[in-house]
Structure 1
Amino acid sequence: MTTTATSPALSGGKKAQIAVQRFGTFLSGMIMPNIAAFIAWGFITALFIATGWLGFWHPVADILGGFGDASQINWAHAMTALSQTKDGNVIPVFVGLVGPMITYLLPLLIANTGGRMVYGERGGVVAAIATVGVIVGTTIPMFLGAMVMGPLAALLTKWMDRIWEGKIKAGFEMLVNNFSAGILGMLLAIVGFFGFGPIMTAVSNALGAVVDFLVSAGLLPLLSILVEPAKVLFLNNAVNHGVFTPIGTQQALETGRSILFLVEANPGPGLGILVAFAFFGVGAARASAPGAIVIQFLGGIHEIYFPYVLMKPIIIVAAIAGGMTGVATNAVFGSGLRAPASPGSIFAVLLQTSGDSNFGPGWGYVGVILSVILAATVSFLLSSLFLLRTRKRDLELGESGDLSAAISATEANKGKSSSTLAGLRTSSEAGTTAVATKPISTIVFACDAGMGSSAMGASVLRNKIKKAGIEGVTVTNQAIANLDGSADLVVTQNQLTDRARSASPNSLHVSVDNFMNSPRYDEVVDLVASQHQDGVQG
């Protein structure tokens, strides 16, 4: 078990990778906590716009959809159809949910979340105030503006507070804090209205133009060349929610759907890889693949297939080809989703699918379903080819020998050692068994987003500890960005361990290759059990 309590020296390349991961995590961290709001907006558009599922019921569609000329609405009929009290008086409702939600609610949630990440509740409040100016100063939904103005406003608030930190007389703290935040928020809102908003509008339009060019030129599938390797390097949430979600939501508002929601979230490529391992893999990889299929395809936790790609890096070619096939299929049909599919489960994908496409109503479902099937088929065929070419050698050497050889070959191709791949060795040549120097009472599973795979790993270890009869040990999961150093032991996947060490340097760290099926868990249980029996040697 590779475990340390101190941070080893990192190479320049590794530092750059960690820096990129942190930046990507920060971007996705503003979006992911608010995905439920995006999904709610997606369902409202699916139900109540003119072409939606309930679009034929005009009183409801006119009010909740918010489209058309409000002066033409038969208010008495529409409102009575919606709600009526016992005495015959109708209950007032707002005109249109679709527009206000995407214009105000979603950007303000993003800004508030970004502000909280930088400077807590105070930063979130000023971020929301400042972002209103950006929203009102533009004519398009300001997701990108919120992602920039929110953290910036919080950072300025933090710097402002440092100016008079410890210099305020007792009894005047609340007065100074409230008025300073209010005045700063006002000034930033004005700046956002006159200057920041137009700039972000230009940036957003430019990005949209780039996407439109890629679509019209038939080059959009090439995005998979960047996206699929980024996923394996745990930049999937950053790519999907930090880049595609803001631009895709703008497209969905204009056309009712966006192909960008399926560039990263399509479960087809991962499904094909796991099915190939289930048929042609060797050892533990083959045994664990069927369970991983359920988690990845039905549960939407794509991280579960990343270790299988790292075991044989050539498999990334299959993932890229599968991703390109899925994107190309949606491009041909003009199909897409109304809102983000998060997690990337086939159920979430189908629920957010827009029925409209270039071929007419209903063909959108055909395009999306085919994009998943064809992506899975292509990745399965290529993965199977790669696995069959080495199957005889894999059976002779056994999985551990093949894995060790694959890691060595990958490190040779990189020209340097890789701590990311070294953690995949089933017999860690440089690893050590964990030795705790203090009682372990809190164990945290940390991943990029703090959900999904880390939640599953925490559940597995929690059950093992319970079966071992150990009490007084809590096992939780959270995002690496939220680690505060209080955890006694932190469990992360190999690619994320260095970031976890930086966030919680005094904790004991355990690296695993697969949150769902790792022999390291038994070692952790033995370690904790020995503490309860014999105590910890200082």
Structure 2
Amino acid sequence: MQNTVSSTEAKPKKKSLKARMQKFGSFLSGMVMPNIGAFIAWGLITAIFIPGGWAPNAGLATMVKPMVTFLLPLMIGYTGGEIIAGHRGGVVGAIATMGVIVGTSTPMFIGAMIMGPLGGWLIKKWDDAVQPHIRQGFEMLVNNFAAGILGMILAILGFFIMGPIVAAASAIMGAGVNYIISVHLLPLANIFIEPAKILFLNNAINQGILTPLGLEAASHAGKSILFLLEPDPGPGLGVLLAFSIFGKGTAKASAPSAAIIHFFGGIHEIYFPYVLMKPALFLAVIAGGVTGTTVFSVMNVGLKATPSPGSIFTLLAMSPKSVSNFIGLILGVTLAAAASFIVSAIILRRDKTPDTDAASLEDATAQMSAMKSGDSSEASSENIENARDVVANYDNVKKIIFACDAGMGSSAMGASLLRDKVKKAGIDMSVTNTAINNLKDEPGLLVVTQDELADRAAQKAPNAMRIAVDNFLSSPKYDSIVLNLKARDQMDSSAAEPKPAPAAKSTPSGALDNIDFAKISEIDFLRDDDKVGTATMATSLMKDRVKKNSKAATVKSLGINDIEDDENRLVIVTPEAAKNLKTRYTNIQVFSTKDLLNSPDYDKMVSELK
């Protein structure tokens, strides 16, 4: 699959079962995720102000029941309708939800997830059929009465029919969950939950299924173990700790920082690529999940509300005021991490796969840079004769959107990372994030999404330029995006100037007159695609020359993406690589030579250095 898709390449494809499941799960979670703040507020009010809470207050505690009975279901119903038909759909969805709320005594989260989208869908169908035929001047009258009448009808149906049906279904599901808990079989759910998380169904499972069931249970019992089945950070932490000790190459080098982001930041998506690179590690996260849930079940651990993000801090904040609950919570997370770590360590220690990474993180980064021409579309290949081909797909890009399942968490961090790179490169470009369900096919759009969600991104934005990455938090493709945007801007500005400023000062072999040695503080050998070893050796030889001549300049071997566009840099390249360098940088000084190891001009070059 190509990671970059231009508008001319976009073709409709039949959706796979997995894509349909992700779409449905994302729709369910999309009704809950935008309202997570309200759920957390309710959980905190419950934990603090009810009798037995941290600071009991009879007056403030009266907010607990109205919030869980009315506010939260209405917000879900409104959001579900809004997803289908905008604000108008949200209004009808909220009215319809009110019917199921009043028609039962059970908190109607599942009922809201049905009536909200139903109201939005029906008003959308009505508007599509009727609005084109409304006489001019009567639009507001017809639209408002249509929404009001339809909402009233749905509220009545919800009161008499849907409410009792959902209440009965909820009672059956609740009884089933309670039975599973009573016979201590709940840990078996993690056999399915942990692999599904890593296939990017985590938000669908937690926000779409477990959260509504957990909220109904918590409204009666004061807490629910269902809030811990998916957000437990223990299984992922164990995998990342094992990679930190027994991993190889870049995976080992990046695992410690990933563990911090995962455990304390609550961004679970960061450990998914580590498991996917070695599928046997599915056994590790399953072992961790089953272990953690077993401890939670035996010690009767639960939370007041759903923790989002799944950080250890959020889990502790959502815990009831109970010493035994805190102990069980910490013990469950710890043992989950330990079980996952042990299984991961065994798998990684027994792994005899040769280490294909370079000897250091710097070499690995260079390898990725050299491979970028294979990771991107043909239009961003690094072997370029016509400089315009470098940025052909970037000509119309006006904004960048990161799209993930929920539009929070990993996509927000990925957008933040690229936004920082874009800003440092001096590029004026909007970089934001959103849920993939909210993605729109806008002109001038570059969509960055995970590999698993690439098909859905193609369906939502078929005419946008699209780039798929395996990990939002550490993709080398971000540098490629920045460099191509920078090259595009430089070429556009050059075309607008009648006399453009001189580009990087390139000199033919044997000519040093155009180099301003008084400014040179660093010499960089460019690691060309097939000359990584040669550049490394040439760097070593040049370091010896500089040292013997007591010069102050530093000497490095760098990939093309790592060079700073600074006139204090003298970059030594082959004539072939110099062509590509000119399209990307304007301030560096360039010396091209066919012999990187022993150019006859090196001695004179070193003598001219300050």
TM-score (norm 1): 0.84
1:291 aligns with 2:257: yes
In 1, the alpha carbon distance for the partners of 2:31 and 2:276 equals: 29
Deviation at 1:201, TM superposition (A): 0.3
Three-state SS of the structure 1 residue aligned to 2:220 is helix
In 1, the alpha carbon distance for the partners of 2:155 and 2:227 equals: 31
Match of 2:541 in 1: none
Match of 2:560 in 1: none
Structure 2: gaps spanning 5 or more residues: 360-367, 381-391, 496-610
Deviation at 1:513, TM superposition (A): 1.2
Match of 2:479 in 1: 522
Matching residue within 108, 113, 116 for 1:150? 116
Match of 1:461 in 2: 418
Q: More displaced, 515-524 or 111-120?
A: 515-524
1:432 aligns with 2:377: yes
Per-residue displacement from partner, 1:374-398 (whole Å, max 9, x unpaired)?
Answer: 00000011111111111x5333x44
Contact 2:372 2:480 in 1 (8 A): no
Match of 1:42 in 2: 43
In 2, the alpha carbon distance for the partners of 1:259 and 1:428 equals: 48
In 2, the alpha carbon distance for the partners of 1:227 and 1:508 equals: 33
Contact 2:10 2:463 in 1 (8 A): no
Contact 1:285 1:308 in 2 (8 A): yes
Three-state SS of the structure 2 residue aligned to 1:393 is coil
Contact 2:250 2:357 in 1 (8 A): no
Contact 1:221 1:328 in 2 (8 A): yes
In 2, the alpha carbon distance for the partners of 1:306 and 1:7 equals: 28
Partner AA of 1:490 in structure 2:
V
Three-state SS of the structure 1 residue aligned to 2:131 is coil
Match of 2:103 in 1: 137
In 2, the alpha carbon distance for the partners of 1:437 and 1:106 equals: 43
In 1, the alpha carbon distance for the partners of 2:126 and 2:451 equals: 39
Q: Cα–Cα, structure 1 residues 2 and 163, in superposed 2: closer, same or farther, change >3 Å?
A: closer
Match of 2:353 in 1: 393
Q: Cα–Cα, structure 1 residues 213 and 429, in superposed 2: closer, same or farther, change >3 Å?
A: farther
Matching residue within 257, 261, 265 for 2:227? 261
Match of 2:301 in 1: 335
Match of 2:563 in 1: none
In 2, the alpha carbon distance for the partners of 1:126 and 1:23 equals: 21
Deviation at 1:443, TM superposition (A): 1.0
Matching residue within 70, 83, 101 for 2:67? 101
Three-state SS of the structure 1 residue aligned to 2:466 is strand
Match of 2:155 in 1: 189
Contact 1:318 1:378 in 2 (8 A): yes
In 2, the alpha carbon distance for the partners of 1:393 and 1:479 equals: 37
Partner AA of 1:485 in structure 2:
D
In 2, the alpha carbon distance for the partners of 1:8 and 1:369 equals: 49
In 1, the alpha carbon distance for the partners of 2:433 and 2:357 equals: 33
Work out which of the two has the higher radius of gyration on C-alpha atoms and give 1 or 2. Answer: 2
In 2, the alpha carbon distance for the partners of 1:439 and 1:223 equals: 47
In 2, the alpha carbon distance for the partners of 1:302 and 1:524 equals: 25
Matching residue within 345, 355, 365 for 2:311? 345
Deviation at 1:295, TM superposition (A): 1.0
In 1, the alpha carbon distance for the partners of 2:131 and 2:66 equals: 39
Q: More displaced, 185-194 or 45-54?
A: 45-54
Matching residue within 482, 495, 499 for 2:438? 482
In 2, the alpha carbon distance for the partners of 1:145 and 1:126 equals: 14
Match of 1:51 in 2: 52
Per-residue displacement from partner, 1:37-58 (whole Å, max 9, x unpaired)?
Answer: 1111111111122221223xxx
Per-residue displacement from partner, 1:322-369 (whole Å, max 9, x unpaired)?
Answer: 00111100000001100000000000000001244xxxxx20111111
- Map 1:26-425; keep pairs closer than 5 Å: 26-55=27-56, 60-61=57-58, 63-65=59-61, 96-356=62-322, 362-390=323-351, 392-395=352-355, 397-398=356-357
Deviation at 1:187, TM superposition (A): 1.0
Deviation at 1:489, TM superposition (A): 1.1
In 2, the alpha carbon distance for the partners of 1:437 and 1:47 equals: 52
Contact 1:279 1:286 in 2 (8 A): yes
In 1, the alpha carbon distance for the partners of 2:165 and 2:488 equals: 59
Deviation at 1:428, TM superposition (A): 8.3
In 1, the alpha carbon distance for the partners of 2:290 and 2:187 equals: 5
Contact 2:54 2:321 in 1 (8 A): no
Q: How many residues are aligned here?
A: 469
In 1, the alpha carbon distance for the partners of 2:298 and 2:30 equals: 32
Three-state SS of the structure 1 residue aligned to 2:42 is helix
Matching residue within 495, 498, 505 for 2:452? 495
Contact 2:11 2:462 in 1 (8 A): no
Partner AA of 2:458 in structure 1:
R
Give the root-mean-square deviation of aligned CA atoms: 2.1
Partner AA of 2:481 in structure 1:
V
Contact 1:107 1:143 in 2 (8 A): yes
Match of 1:16 in 2: 17
Match of 2:5 in 1: 4
Per-residue displacement from partner, 1:63-107 (whole Å, max 9, x unpaired)?
Answer: 222xxxxxxxxxxxxxxxxxxxxxxxxxxxxxx111100000000
Contact 2:47 2:321 in 1 (8 A): no
Deviation at 1:203, TM superposition (A): 1.1
Contact 1:2 1:428 in 2 (8 A): no
Three-state SS of the structure 1 residue aligned to 2:431 is strand
In 1, the alpha carbon distance for the partners of 2:434 and 2:268 equals: 17
Structure 1: gaps spanning 5 or more residues: 66-95, 357-361, 401-422
Contact 1:7 1:498 in 2 (8 A): no
Match of 1:87 in 2: none
Q: Cα–Cα, structure 1 residues 512 and 426, in superposed 2: closer, same or farther, change >3 Å?
A: farther
In 2, the alpha carbon distance for the partners of 1:181 and 1:326 equals: 48
Q: Cα–Cα, structure 1 residues 501 and 535, in superposed 2: closer, same or farther, change >3 Å?
A: farther
Q: Cα–Cα, structure 1 residues 483 and 388, in superposed 2: closer, same or farther, change >3 Å?
A: same
Contact 2:437 2:460 in 1 (8 A): yes
Partner AA of 2:129 in structure 1:
I
Contact 1:7 1:502 in 2 (8 A): no
Q: Cα–Cα, structure 1 residues 335 and 437, in superposed 2: closer, same or farther, change >3 Å?
A: closer
Deviation at 1:480, TM superposition (A): 1.1
In 1, the alpha carbon distance for the partners of 2:142 and 2:276 equals: 54
Deviation at 1:271, TM superposition (A): 0.6
Contact 1:355 1:363 in 2 (8 A): no
In 2, the alpha carbon distance for the partners of 1:183 and 1:439 equals: 45
Matching residue within 456, 473, 483 for 2:429? 473
In 2, the alpha carbon distance for the partners of 1:494 and 1:504 equals: 15
